[in-house]
A and B are shown apart, each in its own frame.
Chain A
Amino acid sequence: MLKLTNIHTYYGNIHALKGIDIEVEEGEVISLIGSNGAGKSTTLMTTCGIVPAKKGRIELNGEDITYLPPDEIVKKGICQVPEGRRIFPYLTVAENLDMGAFLRNDTEKIKQDLDYVYELFPILANRKNQVGGTLSGGEQQMLAISRALMSRPKILLLDEPSLGLAPIVVKQIFTIIGKINQESKTTIFIVEQNANLALKAAHRGYVMETGKITMTDTGANLLVNEDVKKAYLGI
């Protein structure tokens, strides 16, 4: 469904991605793990067209989207939940969600998606009119995911959804991510430093080190892989 081939991305003369190959099939949950500064976020930014690749090719269902502007890419069905959530702090929860559907005009379906999102995260329904910036970290993460869902993505990119959250909230969020994958058949691509959780939730995983993919296997296999255990699971 989504296919990155030999992607090279630069920030000025910093070579952040050094030839990355990733393939995501429809309906999968994929995890990309790696330590700080490995280039995980950059991978997502490049996929979304925010930091375009210098070399390589990104395909969505066979269509070349490498050099499309971000809004076109969102329209094609790729949406990112950015690292650190980045909700709109001055807008209410309802307004944040409405902004998620900014590129859509199908009022009926937007309404349906809104109901769906409120069903996934009932707390957001209670906080409809609360200003985003005053939500707790967990609620903000839920809002960020919901906002992305409001664009009705075919593939949802999550950048460190567990960042700075209490373990119990993280668990809750991962449960719901699994639910989103199963119920609405949304393909999910998770970037995480929390390798244990991410690999448990994923069908397949990729391991990244300083701009390169060093390993790929099923989530279960990576969890028991000795190298992964040593480097990322702290066992």
Chain B
Amino acid sequence: MRWINIGLGLAVTGIIGFFVVRELLIDPLYFFELFLGGLTRGSIYALIALGYTMVYGIIQLINFAHGEIYMIGAMTALIVASVLGLWGWNTAVIAILAVVFAIVYSCAYGFTVEKIAYKPLRNSPRLSALISAIGMSLFLQNYVMLAQTPDYLPFKSLIPDFHFWEPYAHIITSVELTIIITTVIVMILLGILIKFTRIGKAMRSLPVMWDRSTFSSDFWQGSKPLSQRFWVVSALSRAQCWDRWYWVFPKAILPDISTVNMKMYLPFPSWY
């Protein structure tokens, strides 16, 4: 059995490797284009996955509504961008405002979801919270489909083509560049937050508190840090809402994002 696994693994890796190398040899430029495209998408998924692991790391709950919070942020950005666009505002201002609004809204949603659906179940069996999370996910999806539309909506790019970037724009576009840089910055900031700040330490300390054999240690103050973590996580999943490729399609994007996240989540190293 083991040899079959290894053999299959090698075969798959070999076939993929063959095409990758062939592509690289035939057209290096195209290869790098694809490579950077993958990196860009990957960094978006990585941020979402970080949010997932943070939540899971604390309450051991797979937050099924995580993708929906992301979608809410994208939706908010889209609405803000469309309205301000109609009013003829400057694109750069629109981009910044859309991001700010998206962050505020998804924070608010993340916070509220936690308050309504997860916090009351903190001392219940895990399955209850899981089902509550699925319920939240379904609710948010359908709510947006009803309140907005279940159809595809185009999201116009808000990032202009940078002048200084022109010579390299055929390899990696301004938008991709922005995404990658933003991701790196956000990840560094998150690392600092988790590692060095009090809230970060509180987050890392929390898992033991959920040891169900006893009550939370008295010196712990309620579940404030937990709510704060949700807040941070939601902001995080939103930090890249202006991504041009995200045609916001509440109907189709969610299964997509959730599956990718689940896959990404499994091998992701924990923060602590």
Chain A residues in 8 Å Cβ range of B224:
71
**Residues of chain A with a CB closer than 8 A to B201's CB:** 91, 95, 98-99
Interface residues on A, range: 20 to 34
Bound-state Cα–Cα, A70 to B218, Å:
6
Q: Tell me whether B219 and A148 are in contact (CB under 8 A).
A: yes
Specify which of B198, B205, B215, B216 is in contact with A88 (CB 8 Å cutoff): B205
**B195: nearest chain-A partner, CB-CB:** A95
Q: Does B204 contact A (CB under 8 A)?
A: yes
Contact between chains at B219 and A151 (CB < 8 Å): yes
**Residue-wise interface mask of B (209-251) relative to A, using a CB-CB cutoff of 8 A (1 in contact, 0 not):** 0010011111111101000000000000000000000000000
With an 8 A cutoff between CB atoms, is B255 at the interface?
no
Q: Which residue of A lies closest to B196 (CB)?
A: A95
B207 within 8 A of A: yes
Interface segment out of the listed A42-50, A176-184, A198-206: A42-50
Q: In the complex, which residues 76-132 of chain A have their Cβ closer than 8 Å to any Cβ of chain B?
A: 79-80, 82, 86, 88-91, 95-96, 98-100, 102-103
Q: By the criterion CB–CB under 8 Å, are B217 and A82 in contact?
A: yes
Instruction: Indicate whether A99 sits within 8 Å of B216 (C-beta atoms), given known contacts A70-B222, A71-B221.
Output: no
A51 on the B face (CB < 8 A) = yes
Task: Return chain B residues, CB-CB under 8 Å to A100.
Answer: 219
Residues of B within 8 A of A79 (CB): 218-219
Is B215 touching A80 in the complex (CB atoms < 8 A)? no
A-B contact count (CB 8 A): 66
Which A residues lie within 8 Å of B202 (CB)? 99, 102
Are A51 and B205 neighbours in the complex by a CB distance under 8 Å? no
Complex-state Cα separation, A86 to B204, whole angstroms: 14
Within 8 Å of chain A (Cβ to Cβ): is B208?
yes
B19: Cβ under 8 A from any A Cβ: no
Q: What residues on B are CB-neighbors of A69 within 8 Å?
A: 222
Whether the pair B205, A103 counts as a contact (CB closer than 8 A) is no
> Is B272 part of the contact surface with A, judged by Cβ < 8 Å?
yes
**CA separation between A105 and B201, bound complex, in Å?**
16
B204 close to A90 (CB less than 8 A): yes
Taking the nearest CB of chain A, how far is it from the CB of B198, in angstroms?
7
- Residue of A45, A74, A90, A91 near B219 (CB, 8 A) is A74
A147: Cβ under 8 A from any B Cβ: yes
Q: How far is the CB of A135 from chain B (nearest CB, A)?
A: 14
Closest to A74 in B: B219
Residues of B within 8 A of A86 (CB): 208, 211, 214, 217
CA distance A147 to B211 in the complex (A): 19
The distance in angstroms between the C-alpha atoms of A48 and B222, with both chains bound, is 12
Instruction: Knowing that A90-B208, A95-B204 touch, tell me 9 more A-B residue pairs with CB under 8 angstroms.
Output: A50-B218, A69-B222, A70-B220, A86-B214, A89-B208, A95-B201, A95-B205, A103-B221, A148-B219
* Residue positions of B touching A, CB distance < 8 A: 198, 201-202, 204-205, 207-208, 211, 214-222, 224, 272
